Amino acid sequence: MPGEFDLIHWIRAQQTTSDLVKLAAGDDLAILKWPSNDLLLVGCDQVLDGVHFDSTVHPARAIGRKAMNRNLSDCAAMACLPAAALVSVALPKGRDIEYAKELYLGIKEAGDKFDCAIVGGETGTWDGKLALTISILGRSDGIAPVPRGGAKPGNFLYVTGPLGGSLLGRHMTFEPRVALARQLAKGNWRLTSMIDLSDGLSRDLRQICNASGLGAWVNATAVPIHEDAIEMRRDGRAPLEHALHDGEDYELLFTSPDPDVTPAILIGAIVSDPGTWLVMKDRSRVPLEPKGWEHTF
């Protein structure tokens, strides 16, 4: 029966490399050549069966792709280039080696699109459910990273695409906005803050506001609504509610002093008073409460 070493052997044979990788996975540690003028950005993200995917519904390859794409989306949120990733998989006992290979191929497929090599990892089996943890290394490559906390009063608030209803399927199939983020950050738009929309516009906007010590208003009629959000109105919640709160859109939310950032959609503005508000069609204001995804313990 094939075991861990057969899987490791197979993974080594699949590895793609990049200019940064001096020694690929297979030794005790991999070795990367890091350009001396590059900032190193690091992060880690975990996906869990029953929380971020459903292993009885989603194929292993799609699960692997999503796990990697969430990390790549964090690179987009900082406007950095994905460089390398480390993958840790907790595999339920009874899943065979072919299942583990499919997970790996999904991770690799997503990474290869961005020249992001998998340079290490670990696979263990246990009595629990499937869990994947990926650590990502990103590099600035000539573009200053865009953190969450730099928004200024009077900045305009933008999103990069339509929102809501991702549960219909997009939460598994989204494309990380790395190229667009880099285009935005190196343009003349002087981005002051940015985040990727994983937890929902209402919750992620709070992250920008809290980090910047400011508030924001959002124009209800300007929020771009995805057709999936319209489809999901059958659950009794309006499409706008889905767009504001669903999450896992993986579009970018950012701020700029420029009123005309052409690749994005203007939805509101940053203000000095704390709190987040929705401005309705009749110009009345209602509090925009964060109702997006939050892990509870």
Tokens of 296: 């509870």
Q: Residue 101 or 182: which CB sits closer to Mg ion?
A: 182
The reply on whether position 74 binds Mg ion by CB under 5 A is yes
Scanning the chain, the segments in alpha helix (DSSP H) are 4-14, 60-78, 97-112, 170-173, 178-186, 201-212, 227-231, 239-245
Query: Binding residues for Mg ion, how many (CB under 5 A)?
Result: 3
- Closest separation in Å from C-beta 198 to Mg ion: 5
Tokens of 100: 């583990």
Q: CA 227 → CA 101, 243, 280, 283, distances in Å?
A: 34, 10, 21, 25
Tell which positions 76-95 bind Mg ion, by CB under 5 A: 77
- Tell me the C-alpha distance between 169 and 117, whole Å: 26
Q: Residue 45 or 49: which CB sits closer to Mg ion?
A: 45
Q: Residue 101 or 170: which CB sits closer to Mg ion?
A: 170
Q: Residue 196 or 228: which CB sits closer to Mg ion?
A: 196
Tell which positions 123-142 bind Mg ion, by CB under 5 A: none
The reply on whether position 196 binds Mg ion by CB under 5 A is yes
- Closest separation in Å from C-beta 50 to Mg ion: 21
- Tell me the C-alpha distance between 228 and 70, whole Å: 20
- Closest separation in Å from C-beta 196 to Mg ion: 4
- Sign of the C-alpha dihedral computed for residues 190, 196, 201 and 206 taken in this order: negative
In the chain, the amino acid numbered 241 is E
Q: Residue 75 or 264: which CB sits closer to Mg ion?
A: 75
- Closest separation in Å from C-beta 76 to Mg ion: 9
Binding positions for Mg ion, rule: CB under 5 A: 74, 77, 196
